[in-house]
Chain A
Amino acid sequence: MSKVSMRVNGRATSGEIEGRTLLVEYLRDTLSLTGTHVGCDTSQCGACVVHVDGQAIKACTMFAAEAEGAEVTTIEGMANADGSLNTIQQAFQDHHGLQCGFCTPGMVMSAAALLKDNPRPSEHEVRQYLEGNICRCTGYHNIVKAILAASGQDVSAIAAE
C-alpha cells in the first residue's frame, strides 16, 4: 500500500492504495464519490469519464497513483456553486437526454470537455466525439440534442424531444 494525494472537486484528498488501484476505484471506494460509474472493463463505455487536469479521461484507464498531485473533477463537482444544475446538466434534463442515468455522468463529463474545445459543434462532431460513450437507453437522439442546446444552438428544428 502507498499513499496518494490529489485535489478532487477542489478539495484536497488522500488515501492508502495498492499499486494496482485504478483512479475510478479510488474515487468510488476510497472517497465514496459514487457518481463516477463503471460500465465495462475494456475502456469502451465511458461511464467513468472524469477530468484530470482539465482533460477528459476514462478513470478506468488510469492508476490512482498516476493522478498524484492532479486536479480531478467528477460529476459531483459539476453543478453550479449554489447547487443548481450547470448549463450542460440542465440541457440534459430539459431535452430528456437521460433515462436510467447510468451513463449520464460520463456523458456530461465528455460533453463538457467537447464544448470546452469546440464551443459550437455540429451534430456530426457531437456524434463523433461521443464515440467513446455508450448509452443503451436513449438512442443518443436527445443526448446529441441536449449537447447542441447546451452550446447555445437552436435545436427547435430537431424533431420530438
Chain B
Amino acid sequence: MPKDHGIGASPKRREDIRFLTGDGRYTDDINLAGQAYVHFLRSDVAHGRIRSIDMAAAAGMPGVVRIFTGEDFADIGGLPCGWCVTDRHGNPMQEPKHPVLAHGKVRHVGDPICAVVAETLSQARDAAEAIVVDIEELPAVIDMKKAVQDGAIKVHDDLASNLCYDWGFIEDNKAAVDEAFKAAHHVTTLELVNNRLIANPMEPRVAVGQWEKGTGDYTLYTTSQNPHVIRLLMGAFVLGIPEHKLRVVSPDVGGGFGTKIFHYAEEAFCTFAAKACRRPVKWTSSRSEAFMSDAHGRDHVSKIELAMDAEGMFTALRTDTYANMGAYLSTFAPSVPTWLHGILMAGNYKTPLIYVNVKAVFTNTVPVDAYRGAGRPEATYQLERVIDKAARETGRDPIALRRQNFITEFPYATPVAVEYDTGDYHATMDKLIEIADLAGFDARLAESKTRGKLRGLGVNCYIEACGIAPSNLVGQLGARAGLYESATVRVNATGGLVVMTGSHSHGQGHETAFPQVVADMIGIPEDMIEIVHGDTANAPMGMGTYGSRSLAVGGSAMVRATEKIIAKAKKIAAHIMEASDQDIELKDGKFTVAGTDKSLAWGDVTLAAYVPHNYPLKDLEPGLEETAFYDPNNFTYPSGAYCCEVEVDPDTGKVTIERFAAADDFGNIINPMIVDGQVHGGIAQGIGQALLEACAYDENGQLISASYMDYAMPRADDMPMFTVDHSCQTPCTHNPLGVKGCGEAGAIGSPPAVVNAVCDALQRAGKNVTHIDMPLSPARVWAAMNDATANEGAAQPAARSSGSAEGRSLGGQA
C-alpha cells in the first residue's frame, strides 16, 4: 500500500496550483514603477576589432534614455570565473578578461557591444538599429585542434595561446597506463563527438535591476538557480557592491538545466544601469538572443581507448579530449571537462588504470559551461560506447562484458580519485532486463522486420557523482566557492513552520518534497510547513540548485536544522512536564515522557517558546528558530542501467525510439512521483542530444542553429512512453536522508543507449557501422548505412580530421 504522506509518498505538488492557473510569478512578470528597458546590440560577426561606434543618430531617437558601451565599464571588474584548473605542469589555467560589454574586440556572435536603455522595449530596439558599429573582421577561431597549433589566430591577444589548460588526470598514472596498453590482449579505440547543445529552458533569461536612491540599496530580480551565488559574484567581483546592500531575488524560474547557474553580463548591466539611469532597468531575452548568449553545453571531441585481457577484463583506459570553452570562461566552465568528467571515467567498472587528458580551448563561440549532467554525460558516453564497440570486436555479449567488469564491493576507491560509498550494479541491470522485457526483444525484432524496419537494442550503465563536495576538497581542486547548503527552520508560535533554504526550486518540486521530510520528522501535516527560497533577503547564504544536489545537500541542511529544533523543543517540553529531556519522545506531533502518560502537543511547546511564562529562561533562550549549514563529506553516487530500442527506416535513415527503460538506484526516495518526472525529463534531453539537437557553427563562426526553426527541440511526437524504476536502493551512507540525487541521471544514461541501439540495428542488418556521431539525424544514419558522406553542418570541425566512419558521419570535408 503506497504511503499517502511523508517520506516515500507522492502528494500532489502544491506549486502546481499557481502554475496551472496562470498565477506563477516569473521574473518577466515583474514590472517596477518607472522601469526602462534595455536592448543589447550584439555582434553579428564571430571575431573582430571594434574600430568605431557611431551612436549619434540613435541617441536622439524617441524614448532613448542612455546608450552604454564597453567604455562605460572600463573601471568595472569583468565577469569572474569560479573555478581555476591547474594544468598537468602545475600551472594555473589561462584566464582571459570577460568584460560586461565588449571592449576593443568582439569574440563571438552575440557578444554584446552596446546597451540601449529606452522608455519602451520597441524604442530601445529601434535605436539599436540606428547604431553603426564599424568592425574590422578577423578570421574566426572555430576548429579546436587548429586553434592550439602554433601561429593560430588568438581569441585573446593578451593570452599566450588559445589553450586554456592541458590537464592530465592522474598524471602520475600515465606511464603505468601506457605500459598496460602495450601489454593488452585487445585494444578498442573510438573517436567521438559529444555534440554541442543549448540547454533551452522554456523561460528565457530575464534581469530587472533596481537602485533605491534613499538607501543606496540595489535589488536584482533574475532567472537564477542560485541567487546567493549571483549576489556574491556580481557584488564582490563585478560591481563592488557589498552583499548587505545587494538583494538578489529569483522568483518562479522556468527551468534551468545548468544554464541559469552562471553569472551573466546582462545581470550586471541591469544592476549597474539602474543606478546610472536612476530608474529600474529591465531586460528580457528573446529566444534568438538566448541561443547566442546563454552558456552552451558539452562540445567535446574525444578519443577513448580501452585495453582488455584475454578474458575480457578491462586492464586500462585512456582518453584524450578537446573541450570547447568558447570565447570567455563562463562561471564554472573549467570544472566541467576536468573534475566533473575525469572522476567519472571509471564508470561502474573496476578498471585498475585510467588516464584522462583534456585540452580546453578558446574559440570564437558562445561560452560553454555546465548543462544537465555537466561532464558526467561526456564521460559516460565515451565509456559506454567504447565498451559496446569492444564487445562487438571481441564477440562478447555487451551485457555480459559489463557484468564481468562491474565493481561489486563497496566502498570502492577508483583510480580516478573518488570513493563510491554504495551501489549494486547487478541489481539495476537485473531490474532493467525485467522492465525492458529483453526476453521479448526477438519477437519485436521479427515484427519490425515484417514492416521492413531495422530494429536494434542498446543497453548501458552509468554512474554519476552528485552533491559535489566537501568544500575543503573542491577548494584544493580549484573551486573558488564552498559547496555546502543552508537551511533556517523558523517555527511559529502556533506550530506551523517555515524552512528557508538556499536550494532553489525551478521545476524540481521542492515546495512539495521538502515538507514531506520535515513533516515526518515532527509528525505534523505537510501543510503546516512552507518552503521559502529564491531571495537573498530571507534565506541564509546558500549555494543553490545544480548537480542533483538539492535534497542530498540542501535537504540534509534542513534535516540538521530540524534536529536542532526538535532538541530544543524537547527541552521546553521537559521543563513543562517536569521530566528529563532525555526521557522526552516526539511522535505524531506529540511529546510524551517515556514510561508515563504525560503528553504535550507540538503546538503547546511552540507556543511556550514564544510565550515563555512556564519556561526554563535561565537555561534556554525563548523562540524556536535554528539554522544549519551542511557540508557533505563525499559526493553521492547514483547509478543505473538504461535500455533503448529503436527502429531505423532503411530507406530514409530515420530513427524512431520504440521503447525506453531506465532502472536507477537513487538511494532512498522522498517523492517517487517527482523522481519519475525528473528521470523522464532527463531521458528526453538525452534522446534529444542523441537524435535531434545540434548547436552548429559554420567555419566563419556564424551560429547556424539559433532558433527553434533550426535547433531541433524534442517534441511530444519524438518521444515514447518511458518505463522507469527506482526500486533498487542502496542508500547513501554519509547523508542523513540516505538520498543520492536524481536530476541528471536521465540525461547522463540515455545518449549511449540510443547510439548503441542504432549501431545494433545497423549491425543486425549487415552494415559495418561501428559508430555514428550525435545527433543521429536521418541524413547521418542513411549516410553511414550507405558508406556515404552526410551533407549537413558539422557542429565540431575538429572531429573532421579523421577519415574514419566517424569522420564520414560528420559530413563536410572528411
By a beta-carbon cutoff of 8 Å, the part of chain A in contact with chain B is: 18, 20, 28-29, 33-42, 44-45, 47, 74-76, 78-79, 85, 89, 92-94, 96, 98-105, 108, 123-124, 126-128, 130-131, 133-145, 158-161
- Nearest chain-B residue to A133 (Cβ)? B716
Q: Which residues of A contact B725 (CB under 8 A)?
A: 160
* A52 shortest CB reach to chain B, Å: 17
Q: In the assembly, what is the distance between CA of A142 and CA of B674, in Å?
A: 11
Determine the residue in chain B with the shortest Cβ distance to A91.
B20
- Shortest CB-to-CB span from B642 to chain A, Å, is 14
The reply to whether B202 and A100 contact each other, CB–CB distance below 8 Å, is: yes
Q: In chain B, residues 697-713, which have Cβ atoms closer than 8 Å to a Cβ of chain A?
A: 707-709, 713
Q: Decide: A96 and B715 in contact? CB cutoff 8 A.
A: no
- Please tell me if the beta carbons of A94 and B20 are within 8 angstroms of each other in the complex: no
Nearest chain A CB to B89's CB is how many angstroms away?
41
Q: Once the chains bind, are B716 and A140 in contact (CB under 8 Å)?
A: yes
Closest to A44 in B: B708
Question: What is B's interface to A at a CB cutoff of 8 Å?
Answer: 10, 12-13, 15-26, 28-29, 31, 122, 200-204, 252-255, 257, 284, 286-288, 506-509, 673-674, 676-677, 680-685, 707-709, 713-717, 719, 721-725, 746
Ordered by A's residue number, 7 sampled pairs between the chains whose C-beta atoms are within 8 Å are: A38-B28, A40-B707, A41-B288, A99-B677, A103-B254, A137-B255, A161-B10
CA–CA, A144 to B10, complex, Å? 19
Do B200 and A142 touch across chains, with their CB atoms under 8 A apart? no
Cβ–Cβ < 8 Å partners of A98 in chain B: 16, 19-20
Residues of B within 8 A of A93 (CB): 12-13, 16-17, 20
Are the C-beta atoms of A102 and B723 separated by less than 8 Å? no
Q: Which residue of B lies closest to A89 (CB)?
A: B20
B765 CB to closest chain A CB (Å) equals: 26
Closest to B19 in A: A101
* B788 → chain A closest CB, angstroms: 30
The verdict on A128 contacting B202 (CB below 8 Å), with A35-B23, A136-B257 known, is: no
Q: Which of A34, A140, A159 contacts B684 (CB 8 A)?
A: A140
Interfacial chain B residues near A108, Cβ < 8 Å: 20
B666 to chain A, nearest CB (A): 14
CB distance from B455 to the nearest CB of A (A): 19
Contact in complex: B22, A76 (CB < 8 Å) = yes
CB-based contact A137/B507 at 8 Å: yes
Find chain B residues with CB under 8 A from A133 CB.
716
* CB closest chain-A residue, reference B203: A102
- C-alpha gap A144/B122 in the complex (Å): 38
B residues near A102, Cβ cutoff 8 Å: 24, 26, 201-203, 254-255
- Complex Cα gap A75–B122 (Å): 26
Bound form: Cα–Cα A100–B681 in Å = 11
Once the chains bind, are A39 and B721 in contact (CB under 8 Å)?
Answer: no
Does B12 lie within 8 Å of A94, measured CB to CB?
yes
Question: Given the known A-B contacts A100-B203, A136-B713, are A36 and B22 also in contact in the complex, defined by CB atoms under 8 Å?
Answer: yes
Once A35-B24, A102-B26, A159-B722 are accepted as A-B contacts, the answer to whether A96 and B674 lie under 8 Å apart by CB is: yes
CB-based contact B255/A100 at 8 Å: yes
> Which residues from chain B contact A127 at a C-beta distance below 8 Å?
715-717, 719
Closest chain-B Cβ to A154's Cβ sits at a distance in Å of 14
Select one of A20, A94, A136 contacting B255, CB under 8 A.
A136
